[in-house]
Amino acid sequence: MGLFGTITGLIGASKKKNASKQAQAAIEAKLNEAIGTSNNATNLIRGDYATARGVLDPTVTAMGDLIGINGDPAAQSALDRLKASPLYTSLFNTGEEAVLQNAAATGGIRGGNTQRGLAEFGADTFAKVIQQQLGNLGGLAGIGMGATDASAAASTNNMNNIIALLSQMGQNKARGITDRANLTAGMWNNVGGFADSVAKSFIPGGSAFSKIF
C-alpha cells in the first residue's frame, strides 16, 4: 500500500468512526425519547386513576369500623354516625309515620303493640341501613381495587418497556464501540502495512520511491 492509499484509508476510517458515533447518538436519543414517552403515559394513567385509588383506604377502614375489626370504640362511633345519617332518619321517620297512622286508624295508637312495632321497625330499618352501607362500601372498595390494579399494571408495563429500551441502548452502545474498535484496528493495520512496505523498499535491489508512491 502506498502513502496516498494509507492516508486515504485513515481519512475514510476516521469519517466512518464519526458517522458511527453520530448514528449511536441518534439511536440513543430516540430510545431516551421512547423512555420519556412511556413514563409520561404511565404517569397520565396513574393520574387518571388517582381519585378512584384514593377511595380504597378510607373505604376499607369504614368497613372495618362497621363490622368491628377496628375495635369497639370505632364500631360504636360508626354505628352512631350511621344512625344519625339522613338515610336512616329519613327511612325511620317515614316508617314511623306509617306505623302511627295505621295505629290511629285502628284505635291502638297508645297500645303496647304500637310501641313494639315501632321498636321492631327501627331495629329492622337500622339493620337494613347497615347492610346497605356495607354494600355501598364494598362497591367503592371494588372500584379502588380495580384502579389500583390498573395503575400497578401500567407501572409494570412501563418497567418492562424501559428494561427493553435500556437493553436496546446497551446493545447499540456495544455495537458502536465494537465497530469503532474494528475501524481503529484497521487504521493501525493500514499504518503497519505501509510501514512494512517502506521498510521493504530499503532492502537492496528495491526502489524506495516506487514503493512509496
State pLDDT tens for residues 26-46. 778 888 888 888 888 888 888
Range of the domain at 119: 3-212
Structural domain count of the chain: 1
Q: Model pTM greater than 0.85?
A: no
Percent of the chain, pLDDT > 70? 64
DSSP states of 57-121 as a string?
HHHHHHHHHHHTTT-HHHHHHHHHHHHTSHHHHHHHHHHHHHHHHHHHHHT-TTSHHHHHHHHHH
Q: What is the pLDDT of residue 60?
A: 93
State the average pLDDT for the chain.
Answer: 76
State pLDDT tens for residues 62-88. 999 999 999 999 999 999 999 999 988
Q: What is the pLDDT of residue 181?
A: 62
